[in-house]
Structure 1
């Protein structure tokens, strides 16, 4: 294992990044990049950073972002996302070529974006190796947010917080200013995420918040959101349309309903949604631009509407 000084030198010699992006959001039909409408923004908990309510997810069933043979399509989506005012970009070392595709577009915009990646390694050395690889692939010398990826079992918690666990890598990376903030993600067991949040002062958590979660007996909405608010955690919502399954017969009508439900949950600061195409990205941004908080009655109506599809659409709970 490399010494800390060697690792730091390696990271600092990666590609320099120092440009800016369009400072305001563009409405989707505006292809000139001239700002004409903005997405609402929220402060991401104790990070103190203000982000738009919609970020671009880096992986999905049909998105080109994590596929090696879809570079042209992936680059087009990422470039359009920047034009439309998206500043939060989500990826992970395990997301195929997602980091590589992002690394082809984002360096010239680095100063104004919030870049988040993840590691699924539970030991210190393994996590460090993934961080070095992520930075190289992303063509940057730091991450705004580095997260422990899909933590699912209590045994993993014990490994992560052991003397040689991944939490050591997170702490060291922050100390060396290679990582600004650290977080934890999971979509399997709320007790696991809650236990991790009790053991360490994370800055953020990335959890499933959508229109079918509350039908599940172990919903992240009542189990994690109050704890996150108590700790002033930044909460990023995932699985917002459940890879489109929320739009099946008997479900929701459109992305406006799905996004509206998620962002109307108290304590949620932003959400990440992958895009299969530029057109779908534009539809997602339009929904974010026009977002208005839903009333309790509207939220209840959506929950009632999705009661018959929740078992099929919470499939992600079985992913480990």
Structure 2
């Protein structure tokens, strides 16, 4: 058994818990990028992640059997629950065998969803509960009121939002402090920084932490995807990414090659360089790279030994310009979502 030293950690926003600077995204462990591994292999991976000090775990009710799997793992390892900051989410509704999804951030569905998640997880509370997407129909104040009720009842400890607009964040925070916002952020996707969204600026003004999902560009910045064929096997949802469209993949791979050469010159992997770049954007940024492979996890954790200069950061930022295709979330219509006001 290999037990590492505690990972570098910081407080998640002004009101949140102390968490490792790199979290663990568990979406891919449940078959989003292909068929899931056996329960035995996935339990072993969770064991190994825990042993290496990775204690900030992120899942959602939408992620296949992820909550069920975690519930079984916690049942086997009840003494380890206290060491883990566990986040899950509600709001995206899917049906088996039915393509597409719907979004529901109503108070009623919030209350239903938390109870189902707690049953699957076999836990009395969740550390961080996110509104996975805003339905653009329910005023954010109403959703927040339900979340505050759950917090007062001891069902959740911290409130998070995902893919919200700066305005929605500000209105939510006026009801109750929001601990963190989860949003896509990477060398490939810097929309959070833009003057149009203003989300990063407002989050920092309010003291809200930023949890960066897809920090490796859905695996593109890992350096192993070289063509569309690498992501078109059955069950791999990445084939739908605009970045990997037939008309875009060649140009984007050219940019990845530049980043890979930069990484090689520093004796790093492309993933380590991409994560290091993200960590340099501020102490309030917490990437959650997803993996179910222990070698990849160890590679990601090696990022903590990387130190980038301001010149490195600027050169990487310039090298990543020119990505074409846009982000998948923009096509869903629920990116940086606004909600109606209470009096509308």
TM-score, with length taken from structure 2: 0.72
Q: Name 1:173's counterpart in structure 2.
A: 150
Cα distance in 1, alignment partners of residues 114 and 72 from structure 2: 18
* 2:310 counterpart of 1:305: no
Cα deviation 1:229-267 (Å, max 9, x = unaligned): 111112111110011123344313211111011111125
> Is the contact between residue 54 and residue 271 of structure 1 (CA under 8 Å) also seen in structure 2?
yes
Cα distance in 2, alignment partners of residues 286 and 167 from structure 1: 38
Q: Aligned to 2:291, what secondary structure does the other structure show? A: coil
Deviation at 1:166, TM superposition (A): 3.0
Cα deviation 1:67-86 (Å, max 9, x = unaligned): 66632332222111101101
Q: Name 1:4's counterpart in structure 2.
A: none
Cα distance in 1, alignment partners of residues 60 and 167 from structure 2: 23
Cα distance in 2, alignment partners of residues 284 and 257 from structure 1: 9
1:111 maps to which of 82, 94, 109: 82
Q: Name 1:284's counterpart in structure 2.
A: 300
Q: Name 1:318's counterpart in structure 2.
A: 331
> Is the contact between residue 77 and residue 281 of structure 1 (CA under 8 Å) also seen in structure 2?
no
Q: Name 2:201's counterpart in structure 1.
A: 226
Q: Name 2:244's counterpart in structure 1.
A: none
Q: Aligned to 1:311, what secondary structure does the other structure show? A: coil
Cα 1:72–1:64 change in 2 (3 A) is farther
Deviation at 1:92, TM superposition (A): 0.6
Q: Cα RMSD over matched residues?
A: 2.2
* 2:130 counterpart of 1:133: no
Q: Aligned to 1:46, what secondary structure does the other structure show? A: coil
Cα distance in 1, alignment partners of residues 186 and 54 from structure 2: 21
Q: Name 1:20's counterpart in structure 2.
A: none
Q: Name 1:86's counterpart in structure 2.
A: 54
Could you list the runs of 5+ residues in structure 2 that have no partner in the other structure? Answer: 92-103, 224-252, 261-269, 335-344
1:262 maps to which of 255, 275, 278: 278
2:140 maps to which of 142, 161, 186: 161
Cα distance in 1, alignment partners of residues 148 and 154 from structure 2: 10
1:184 maps to which of 142, 145, 161: 161
Deviation at 1:64, TM superposition (A): 4.1
Q: Aligned to 2:321, what secondary structure does the other structure show? A: coil
Cα distance in 2, alignment partners of residues 115 and 263 from structure 1: 21
Cα 1:48–1:170 change in 2 (3 A) is closer
Greater shift in the superposed pair: 128-137 or 246-255: 246-255
Cα 1:207–1:177 change in 2 (3 A) is same
Q: Name 2:241's counterpart in structure 1.
A: none
Cα deviation 1:87-123 (Å, max 9, x = unaligned): 1110111111111112222352111110100011311
Deviation at 1:157, TM superposition (A): 4.3
> Is the contact between residue 21 and residue 285 of structure 2 (CA under 8 Å) also seen in structure 1?
yes
Cα distance in 2, alignment partners of residues 48 and 250 from structure 1: 36
Cα distance in 2, alignment partners of residues 101 and 234 from structure 1: 27
Cα distance in 2, alignment partners of residues 282 and 182 from structure 1: 29
Q: Aligned to 1:317, what secondary structure does the other structure show? A: helix
Cα 1:279–1:200 change in 2 (3 A) is same
> Is the contact between residue 77 and residue 275 of structure 1 (CA under 8 Å) also seen in structure 2?
no
Cα distance in 2, alignment partners of residues 41 and 91 from structure 1: 20
Cα distance in 2, alignment partners of residues 267 and 207 from structure 1: 16
Cα 1:65–1:81 change in 2 (3 A) is farther
> Is the contact between residue 39 and residue 52 of structure 1 (CA under 8 Å) also seen in structure 2?
yes
Q: Count residues with an aligned counterpart.
A: 268
Could you list the runs of 5+ residues in structure 1 that have no partner in the other structure? Answer: 1-31, 187-191
Cα distance in 1, alignment partners of residues 331 and 59 from structure 2: 21
Q: Name 1:17's counterpart in structure 2.
A: none
